[in-house]
Structure formats: C-alpha cells, structure tokens
Amino acid sequence: MPVKRRLDKRRESAISAEVVAAYARALELRKQARRGEVDLDEVAEAESTVERALSIRMWEPSVFDLDRLYGPDDTGYARAADLRARLETALAAARVHRKSAAPAPSAPTDQTPVPEDVGT
C-alpha cells in the first residue's frame, strides 16, 4: 500500500528576500521606537512577522533579543544565533547589491537649452 510522504513543516533555511526585507523593516522600527517615533505595537508586529516566517515559536529564543534575554546554555539559543547570523549576512549582501544596482547620479550640466526659433 502506498504511503504519502509527509514533509516537515518547519523550514529551517527559509531565509528569502521577503524575510530579509521584513527583518530590515523590524530593525528600522526598533531604532525608531528607541527615539520615540513609532508605537511599540508596530515593532512587535514587525518582529512577529519575521518570527512566523522563520518558524520561531513564542517560547523559543528570538533573533531580536537573543543576547539581552537568553544565554548560550538556553534551549534554542544556537538555532536563533544561527538564524540571526544568516539574516545579518543576507541583509549585508542585499545592501551591497542595492548600492551596486543604484544608478550613479549624473553630474549637472552647465548647458542651458537654447529655445529654437519658431517661424512666424
């Protein structure tokens, strides 16, 4: 009798462009929250979006407060540290790619367009 092969629902290596963009957004919101510009609920929502995408449960160490709330002897610390390192690497690569893809600003020209004579 054939048996359906069940795949693991956890996506360990799910560092996609969308996850990196969500991580960058969450980091930016955290900076803005420290300055008092953003509501903490918005920061929490951005962080939970990243954690859901990475299959991080709410009782597992987060990639955001890893060093502040958890230690190397905590369960799940190694996984969260690995995910954070991979996110940081992907974010740095995305920033380099974005810089290299941005067009160089053109130098302003001193030539003023001369209006053409219109025949009357």
- Whether 37 maps to a domain, the answer reads yes
State how many domains the chain has: 1
Flag whether 120 is in a domain: no
Tell me how far apart the alpha carbons of residues 106 and 41 are, in angstroms, rounded to a whole number. Answer: 41
At 31, is the pLDDT very low, low, confident or very high (cuts 50, 70, 90)? Answer: very high
Task: Please report whether residue 101 resides in a domain.
Answer: no
Residue 5 in any domain: the answer is no
90 is a domain residue: yes
Structural domain including 80 reads 17-94
Given pLDDT bands bounded at 50, 70 and 90, which one contains residue 8? low
Beta strands per DSSP E along the chain: none
**What is the structure's pLDDT at 51?**
93
37-88 residue pLDDT tens: 999 999 999 999 999 999 999 899 999 988 888 888 888 899 999 999 999 9
Convert the pLDDT of each residue in 87-112 to its tens digit.
999 999 988 888 887 665 665 555 55
8 belongs to a structural domain: no
Within-domain flag for 9: no
Please give the Cα distance from 5 to 87 (Å, whole number). Answer: 30
Is 31 inside a domain boundary? yes
Q: Is 0.85 surpassed by the pTM of this model?
A: no
Rounded to the nearest 10°, the torsion over CA 22, 27, 29, 35 is -170
- Tell me what pLDDT residue 72 has: 84
CA neighbours closer than 13 Å in the CB half-sphere of residue 30: 12
Q: Residues 6 or more apart from 90 whose CB is under 8 A from it?
A: 15, 20
